[in-house]
Amino acid sequence: MSQPSAMKPDYRNWVSPRLLYVAGAGSVVFAGLSFLVPWFAILAVICGASCAYFAYARYQFSSRGGDLQPKVQALLLDGFEWDGEGKAIDIGCGSGALSITMAIKYPDAQVTGVDFWGGSWEYSKDVCDCNAEIEGVGDRVAFQQGTASSLPFDDGSFDAAVSNLTFHEVRDVKDKRLLIKEALRVVKKGGAFAFQDLFLWKQVYGDVDDLLAAIRSWGVERVEFIDTSSSPFIPRALKLPFMLGTIGVLRGTK
Ligand SMILES: C[S@@+](CC[C@H](N)C(=O)[O-])C[C@H]1O[C@@H](n2cnc3c(N)ncnc32)[C@H](O)[C@@H]1O
């Protein structure tokens, strides 16, 4: 097994700096244009407020601020009923944080992290590989490119599946329930799953009871929903629907 290094892992941030630059630049451009057309001042204010809001969120997510990212990921693994024997997949692994946490928590497991690593975040396979090496689990975690909408694995390839705050980000599938179905496809019968996403956001997933009924109709042995949005460590300002205000965990046994 590889030895833990003195270097620190870098799990980056759910709010990319690009978002801040775009909002900040928009604010400056519209402020300039407002000298010609006063109505542009409204857009300048909206962009400025968005920039300030996302800067606050970025600070709260970071380890220098509220350190919310590992806390939110921990909600997903809390009560996760898996014996840690065999193979697990982390769908939309980002910078590898959850995959690596799984590998540390389950010392006999092999973990595969999958992500399409598009341009919206500072994440990449290299970032994931580097973090896994630093954390001393590089020999049991593999990262590969792939999309959550069509996972590059056969049916029943994994003993466990997890995914954190990814499904709502997948652009090429409008019905996000299909992403849950695709995630479950690669889990063995009797395998464990835990997915955290904006499941309480009705515009994205519809009613939670309907969602649970749909999942049961796919032949899943057991599924339950846990509302994690009211976790006390989440600041009130981050409880907007598109941030952490509608998060919940779907977990069970296939
Ligand atoms: C908010 S981040 C969460 C990352 C990670 N799960 C975590 O907890 O830190 C959303 C992730 O979804 C990934 N993603 C978006 N669309 C995807 C797709 N079609 N297939 C796989 N991953 C995707 C992004 O690249 C990003 O890493």
Average model confidence (pLDDT) for the chain? 96
Instruction: Reduce the DSSP state of residue 120 to 3 states and report it.
Output: coil
Residue 131 burial class via C-beta count within 10 angstroms: exposed 0-12, middle 13-18, buried 19 and up: buried
Please tell me the residue having the least CA distance from ligand 1 atom 13: 92
Taking 60 as the threshold, does the pLDDT of residue 2 lie above it?
no
Q: Is 170 in the pocket of ligand 1 (CB under 6 A)?
A: yes
Q: How far is the CA of 34 from the centre of ligand 1 (A)?
A: 37
DSSP letter at 3 equals: P
The side-by-side arrangement of strands in the sheet containing 110-115 is 141-145, 110-115, 87-91, 158-164, 187-197, 248-253, 222-227
Q: Is 117 in the pocket of ligand 1 (CB under 6 A)?
A: yes
What's the pTM value of the predicted model, to 2 decimals?
0.95
Average pLDDT over residues 237-250: 97
Q: Which residue is listed with tokens 């997903």?
A: 76
> Which residue would you say has higher pLDDT here, 125 or 121?
125
Q: What pLDDT shows up at residue 50? A: 95
Task: Give me 82's structure tokens.
Answer: 């898996």
Structure confidence by residue, pLDDT tens digits, 43-61: 999 999 999 999 999 999 9
Taking 70 as the threshold, does the pLDDT of residue 3 lie above it?
no
Please tell me the residue having the least CA distance from ligand 1 atom 27: 94
Average pLDDT over residues 179-194: 98
Q: Is 124 in the pocket of ligand 1 (CB under 6 A)?
A: no
Q: What pLDDT shows up at residue 142? A: 98
Q: How far is the CA of 32 from the centre of ligand 1 (A)?
A: 35
Structure confidence by residue, pLDDT tens digits, 149-172: 999 999 999 999 999 999 999 999
- Three-state SS sequence of 80-118: CCCCCCCEEEEECCCCCHHHHHHHHHCCCCEEEEEECCC
From 75, 169, 244, mutation site for ligand 1 pocket: most ligand atoms within 8 A of C-beta:
169
Q: Is 193 in the pocket of ligand 1 (CB under 6 A)?
A: no
- Pairing of the two strands 187-197 and 222-227: unpaired
CA–CA distance, 120 with 187 (Å, rounded to integer) = 28
Please tell me the residue having the least CA distance from ligand 1 atom 23: 92
The residues that bridge with 248 in the sheet, in sequence order, are 197, 227
Please tell me the residue having the least CA distance from ligand 1 atom 10: 166
Q: What pLDDT shows up at residue 119? A: 82
Q: How far is the CA of 39 from the centre of ligand 1 (A)?
A: 37
| Residue 213 φ/ψ region, left for φ over 0, alpha for ψ in the -120 to 50 degree band, beta for the rest | alpha
Q: Is 148 in the pocket of ligand 1 (CB under 6 A)?
A: yes
CA–CA distance, 81 with 194 (Å, rounded to integer) = 9
Q: Is 103 in the pocket of ligand 1 (CB under 6 A)?
A: no
Task: Give me 139's structure tokens.
Answer: 């020999």
CA–CA distance, 138 with 4 (Å, rounded to integer) = 10
Q: What pLDDT shows up at residue 1? A: 45
Q: Is 123 in the pocket of ligand 1 (CB under 6 A)?
A: yes
